Amino acid sequence: MKQLAKMFVLLTLVLLWTSITAFPQSESGRLIGTITDASGAAVPGATVKVTQVTTNRVISVTSQADGSYALNALPVGNYKIEVSMTAFKGQRANFSLEISEVKEVNFKLEVGSINETIEVTNDVPVVDTETSSTGEVIQGRQVVDLPLNGRNFTSLALMTPGVSRGAYSNNAAGIAFGNPAAETWRNYDSGSAALAVNGLRPQANNYMIDGIDNNESLVNTIVIIPALEDIQEFKTTTNDASAEFGRAGGAIVQVATNAGSNKIHGTAYWFNRSKIAAADVFQYTSEKQCTYLGQSGCVARPPLSRNQFGASLGGPIWKNKLFGFVDYQGWRETLPNGVDTTRVPTAKMRTGDFSELYSPTGEGSATSLPYSGLPGCATARTAQPNAFLSAGYGYVFDPTTCLPFGWDTTNDAPGASINVIPSASQIQPGAKYLNLFPLPNITSANVATNDQNFSQVEQNIIRMNDYDARLDFVASSKDTIFARYSLGTDFLNGTQVLKDSNHFLPSGGGSNPSHPRQVAVGWTHILSSTIINEFHYGWIRDLSGYQQPNGSNPVASAIGIQNANTSPLLGGMPIIGGWYGNISYIGDGGPYLIVEPTNQFTDSVSWTKGKHTFKFGASIIHRDVNWDQGNNAKGYFWIDDSNAGCCGGFPVSTSGHGTFTGYEDSELLGGFMGAYSVGAFSGYYQTRSWENGFFGQDDWRVARRPRPAI
């Protein structure tokens, strides 16, 4: 039994000896080291002075009995370290500290005058102390200088082993059903912020900026996407994150934003991408593709225009005390989104004249015979059999007689006014509705064979304006405070499909707003040479969703459609369409807006005691998710019967294009519908949640070199 106990103790010591420090990785870093004399004996009581180069802030500690020292909660940046001790020559060295880094700088002092100083380069080892976590740090200069399509900083995280973009259609990638996702469309053409780490879903990540939560709660992806000039460093941790981090099974993505310094520094930039220099692309067409502007006899490339521009400025407001940094990034982009080809009523149809559908040879394909179960249809079929020979003749039927409009009942043949609906049989909302459509623009289209007669090039138009402002205040040698505000006013606008110079019918398009904003505040206080407290507060609010075209105008009410625009939020048109597509679908289900405010408080205490460095802390997060959704609250008008049993249309799935008249446009003009439904406007749905975490960790230096973490 004693032998087993000895083996257990031995195994534990081996594990402790070979383990790597796993100190909680806040945005700030940590400096440790040991001071010895030439013989390797510990030098206690040596003064260690660390100066942050950009702000001249100085922090001093004294080495302990075993010669070790530690400085916690150091901001990312460049530093100068100086060591002095009576009867020894002073030494100094320069080093940089990366985000969440634990760095070891050891000194071996030489006997001599304290007034003598040795500039140390290779003589003193400057070791980046590894942690149990694995990942990659991308520094600010790399972020700015490396080529990035769309200037999306998360693309650089793909250089980390085990990280990919994941499934293309994942919502975190900004794509939903093949189109930009309403909640996450920003940077969708470069993968947005989707990072699939070690095979996990992109929603498994935790995004942080300046030590503050940077996650939205609906899709669980990033909120603030900082401009490259605003990033000092960022780190992607893919395995074994320390005790301070929870919430995510995937990556921890930490961003440290730029701060001002004693030197004025800034940038200005403009990046342009257009189709002028674009490469030739393969098309499913035999026609030649244009290779330069103004070329004729070829198919022009679809328009592409991307302009990203901005500026940043940082510097001192009060030298050595107060520093500021601001940046702005604008984005103007027009992306081709294919060509929408559909069917609209002709000029004659808007007046009730459907004679263009008539095919004397019976070769039409646009219409169908009315439902045989309608009142009077059995009698009409017997009395006027020629009217029912084939749907190919393109007749438009009068539901009150179950015979084609303009039918010559004396001769059982088409009359002079075949397919002309008299004004008395038209309803005004139907006539006004047809006149909202743009006129056909495909001159070769034959409506008798249900050809598509209207075409519109679609585009996605991006307008983004993003701002950041940060203040850093060195209140004293023991207190530093920072505050940052980030704001985005971003829009993705789709092409209005059914629109020309004189007509506009809300269909397609609309606007996807994205208005992220964040307040971040941090206070680091040195209570003593061995105890440091770090406090953070963060407020974040994300607004996203979909706003329907003409959403503020009661278009439906204006043409006489009742019970559609029942709220200021329910403007535009209800959904109107049918299964067979004689006329374009229009309308929308109403707005879809999500507002997600989050409040976070975090606090942690670092305490160095002998060979132990303890860190304890807590994170308190309160998340709200508020959204409203139209749910077809303006109504859904289904023109045909229910061909697939999907929509409850009258009466069964048998009639074809139009249950009553045989053609969808004439159904609308006559006021006949196969089905109608209306949803309940959701108003605000709300969820409230608390996300609280507590941690404690002991970094125990068993000997000078090994650093086990518990």
Annotated domain spans of the chain: 21-131, 139-342+456-549+588-633+679-696, 349-451+636-677
Find the mean pLDDT for residues 111-117. Answer: 72
**Predicted confidence band of residue 20 (pLDDT cuts 50, 70, 90):** very low
pLDDT at residue 1 tops 50: no
492 CB-near residues (< 8 Å, 6+ apart)? 180, 185, 460, 461, 462, 511, 512, 514
Most confident of 31-40, 288-297, 511-520: 511-520
What mean pLDDT comes out for the span 62-76? 89
Under the banding of pLDDT at 50, 70 and 90, the label for residue 176 is confident
Q: Does position 517 have pLDDT exceeding 90, yes or no? A: yes
The pLDDT value recorded for residue 442 is: 92
Name the more confident of 292 and 491.
Answer: 491
Q: What is the mean pLDDT of residues 519-535?
A: 93
User: Which pair of tokens denotes residue 105?
Assistant: 């700088």
Residue 684: CB atoms within 10 A of its CB come to 10
> Residue 435's pLDDT is what?
94
For the segment 141-164, the average pLDDT, to the nearest whole number, is 85
Query: What is the pTM (predicted TM-score) of this model?
Result: 0.82
pLDDT at 675: 79
Is the confidence at residue 625, as pLDDT, over 50?
yes
Is 69's pLDDT higher than 50? yes
- pLDDT-based confidence at residue 180 (cuts at 50, 70, 90): confident
Determine the pLDDT at residue 364.
93
pLDDT value of position 149: 79
Of the listed ranges 10-19, 367-376, 411-420, 581-590, the least confidently predicted one is 10-19
Comparing 513 with 4, which gets the higher pLDDT? 513
Identify the H or E element spanning 78. strand 77-85
Confidence (pLDDT) at 467? 97
Peptide bond into 75 cis (omega under 30): no
* Cis status of the peptide bond prior to 651, with omega within 30 of 0: yes
Q: In the predicted model, is pLDDT for residue 644 greater than 80?
A: no
Residues 255, 250: Cα–Cα separation, whole Å: 16
pLDDT at 120 over 70: no
Grade residue 280 by pLDDT with cuts at 50, 70 and 90: low
Which residue type sits at 109?
A: L
Give the pLDDT of residue 610: 78
pLDDT at 81 over 50: yes
Average the pLDDT over each of 254-258, 302-306, 575-579 and give the range with the smallest value. 302-306
Q: What is the pLDDT of residue 486?
A: 97
Check residue 563 and give left, alpha or beta (phi > 0: left; psi -120 to 50: alpha): left
The pLDDT score that the predictor gives to residue 527 is 92
Q: How far apart are CA 532 and CA 28, in angstroms?
A: 12
Q: State the chain's mean pLDDT as an integer.
A: 84
Beta strands in 296-321 (DSSP E): 305-318
Q: Which CATH superfamily is domain 21-131 in?
A: Transthyretin/hydroxyisourate hydrolase domain (2.60.40.180)
Place of tokens 């409040």: 599
How far apart (Å, rounded) are the C-alpha atoms in residues 205 and 196?
8
604's CB contacts (< 8 A; 6+ apart) are 24, 26, 244, 533, 534, 615, 616, 617, 618
How open is the CA angle 114-115-120, to the nearest 5 degrees?
Answer: 80
* Cα atoms found within 13 Å of the Cα of residue 179, Cβ hemisphere only: 12
pLDDT at 418 over 50: yes
Q: Which residues contact 463 (CB under 8 A, 6 or more apart)?
A: 331, 332, 490, 491, 493
- 281 or 366: which carries more pLDDT confidence? 366
Does position 132 have pLDDT exceeding 70, yes or no? no
| pLDDT of res. 386 | 96
**Both structure tokens of 40:** 């390797």
Q: Report which of 87, 83, 84, 105 is spatially closest to residue 31, judged by C-alpha positions.
A: 105
For residue 710, is pLDDT > 90?
A: no
Q: Token pair for residue 110? A: 């030489």
pLDDT in tens, 380-408: 999 999 999 999 999 999 989 999 999 99
Closest to 608 measured CA to CA, from 68, 29, 85: 68
Condensed to tens digits (0 to 9), the pLDDT of residues 235-279 reads 998 887 777 777 777 889 999 999 999 999 999 999 988 766 665
Cα 555 from Cα 568, distance rounded (Å): 12
Structure confidence at residue 682 (pLDDT): 75
pLDDT > 90 fraction of the chain, expressed in percent and rounded: 46
Q: Tell me the backbone φ, ψ of residue 498, rounded to 5 degrees.
A: -90, 75
Q: What is the reported pLDDT for 26?
A: 64
Q: Does the pLDDT of residue 673 top 70, yes or no? A: yes
Q: How confident is the model at residue 22 (pLDDT cuts 50, 70, 90)?
A: very low
Q: Give the lowest-confidence range in 98-102, 243-247, 311-315, 539-543.
A: 243-247
pLDDT at 370 exceeding the cut of 80? yes
